[in-house]
Amino acid sequence: MLLSTSTLLLVVAYMQPAMSSNQNSLHGIAYISVTTDNLTASTQFYTQVLGGMLVPELTFTFSGDSHYYRMFQKEILDARTQGIDPAQLGIPDIRDNGTHEVRGNFIVFDNGIIQLVEYVRTSSSDLVFDIRERRTSPCYIAAPHICFWVKDDVNFNHYIAELERRSYDLGFDQVKVNRPVTVHNEAERLAVPENQLGLSFTSGDFAGLSFAYWKGPRGEQLELYQITNQSRYHLGSDYCRRHGVTTAFLDNHPDNQWKKAAGVSGQLYGMFQFGTRTDDLFKSVNFYTQVLGSELVHKPLQAVNIRGDDVENMLFQKEILDAFSWGTEPRDIGVANISTAGNDRLDHRFNLFDNYVVETLLYTAGRSLSDPKFNPRYNWSSPAYINNMHVALFVDSSVDLNKFLQNAEQTAARNKFPEFKINRAVDVQTLGASVPLSQYSEEFTDGPLKGFNYVFAKGPAGEQQSFVQFKGPAEAKLKSALLKYSAVNTAFKETNPWARKEYDTFCSKYTSNPVIG
């Protein structure tokens, strides 16, 4: 891996104003939503392989006009403009008396939740609205991924081997972790020795970091991080400064029954990041800090000019093999050339919320950030595409969600982010049209999600987002589930270790200037 030691003195781009009361109403990331073509299988994977806990009290099925507009308004308007059937743009008909409905589960991890969603025909749960993208490169604009945080005391290479073994044993043969060495086929990938499965850095800015890219059971883009030594120290300082929560910095945190049942592959701290591809790195950082109230993780944990054969293999091995089998060039299916001999580069930033980070990534078609950007784009934007993911921001239950949403749009406009558009719960003629506050969202009034509310949005690079709120029965169910799993979250006093001073010992090391090992 090649890391430039040059410093980007773009200080103005990172200046963070004082957080508004609107931003203070966020409790970080509520969940990451994953669209699947098999809810049962995906639930089994995230529980039995990765050690999460299903919350059956929040298992849901719903449909209706309000959901149709809140989820797909941008795509509905695109279809009208083009004069085509919305289904052609990946929009299932979940309206009142429509053909489809939404079904899903919530899976709890240490510091976050995975929401699994499928769109099925109302007449048959076996008929999934199955629309997908053949190209799977993480270089595509707004392409998302989830990164899981492997525990410190687990051998990272052995973790990868056990992850694949347990996945295969349970029938998830699509779970394949890329290798940091060049391979030409699946047989060669499987023949790589266990001690070479992950990519670890022992020097430089990211010393102590190990990572691996892989595809989940339905083809979703996933990642693993293990963070030790120097990188762990620097990250810890940011969590302490933010008063963020993670079990990685808690001594003697219980290893619950769900992790134990999953074996080695369940040995996680939860999530480290939700990653999303941007077409403008500095603009995206400003959006997440100025509008949504994240804090930029400090140097040296800001990736600058990342290249190298090992990194390219780890990030794109599946797609490179696809290109070979399809008889095309990797670049034609969205793969940047960040090999040692290549001319592209990768830069990324970590935007820390209360519980983990949103990673924004940029690929440049040249060695300098002033060179043209490598920005391949999909011709779709629907969240119903299989393997689509979006990040859901957790709005405090004490605030008026609709007023919060209106304020967020106004804050974005003041800070020159016109691309940020929140869907409405009613039909409109233009995206982001002015409507009464009551028409921004619509709380569930019955069923397992009673008290839950949400609305979808598009971020500055077109990335999927949502804002969610748990109140009443839904809030009680969520809190109970977090406590049952011994999860951490700033939404409740009982789940916030800061309320019990449990980070005091860990964070005390940042009051002096210790030697970093």
Q: How many CB atoms are located within 10 Å of the residue 299 CB? A: 11
Which DSSP string do the residues of 267-304 spell out, in sequence order?
-EEEEEEEEEE-S-HHHHHHIIIIIT--EEPPTTSSEE
Average pLDDT over residues 498-504: 96
Query: Residue 266 in contact with residue 259, Cβ under 8 Å?
Result: yes
- End-to-end alpha carbon distance in the chain: 21
Beta partners for 61? Answer: 103
8 falls in which pLDDT band (50, 70, 90)? Answer: very low
Which DSSP string do the residues of 443-512 spell out, in sequence order?
---SSTTTTEEEEEEE-TTS-EEEEEEE-HHHHHHHHHHHHHHT---TTSGGG-GGGGTTTHHHHGGGGS
CA 60 to chain centre: 21
Query: Residue 327 in contact with residue 381, Cβ under 8 Å?
Result: no
DSSP assignment letter at 177? E
475 falls in which pLDDT band (50, 70, 90)? Answer: very high
50-101, pLDDT tens digit by residue?
A: 999 999 999 999 999 999 999 999 999 999 999 999 999 999 999 999 999 9
- Length of the chain as a residue count: 517
408-450, pLDDT tens digit by residue?
A: 999 999 999 999 999 999 999 999 999 999 999 999 999 999 9
137-151, pLDDT tens digit by residue?
A: 999 999 999 999 999
Query: Residue 178 in contact with residue 214, Cβ under 8 Å?
Result: yes
7 pLDDT more than 80: no
In 3D space, the residue among 272, 225, 254, 243 whose CA is nearest the CA of residue 506 turns out to be: 243
Beta partners for 100? Answer: 121
125 pLDDT more than 90: no
Which amino acid is present at 249? F
What burial letters (b/e) apply to 324-339, b meaning 16+ CB within 10 Å? eeeeeebbebbbbbbb
CA distance 216 to 321: 17
Average pLDDT over residues 355-361: 98
CA distance 413 to 397: 25
Average pLDDT over residues 482-507: 97
Q: Which helix (H) or strand (E) holds 27?
A: strand 26-35
The per-residue pLDDT for 135 is 97
1 falls in which pLDDT band (50, 70, 90)? Answer: low
Domain ranges of the chain: 11-505
Which residue would you say has higher pLDDT here, 324 or 7? 324
Query: Residue 452 in contact with residue 443, Cβ under 8 Å?
Result: yes
* pTM score: 0.94
CA distance 57 to 106: 9
The per-residue pLDDT for 16 is 40
18 pLDDT more than 70: no
Average pLDDT over residues 470-479: 98
Range name among 9-18, 380-389, 483-492 with the lowest pLDDT average: 9-18
Helix, strand, coil shares, percent, the chain, to 5: 35, 25, 45
Q: What average pLDDT does the chain have?
A: 94
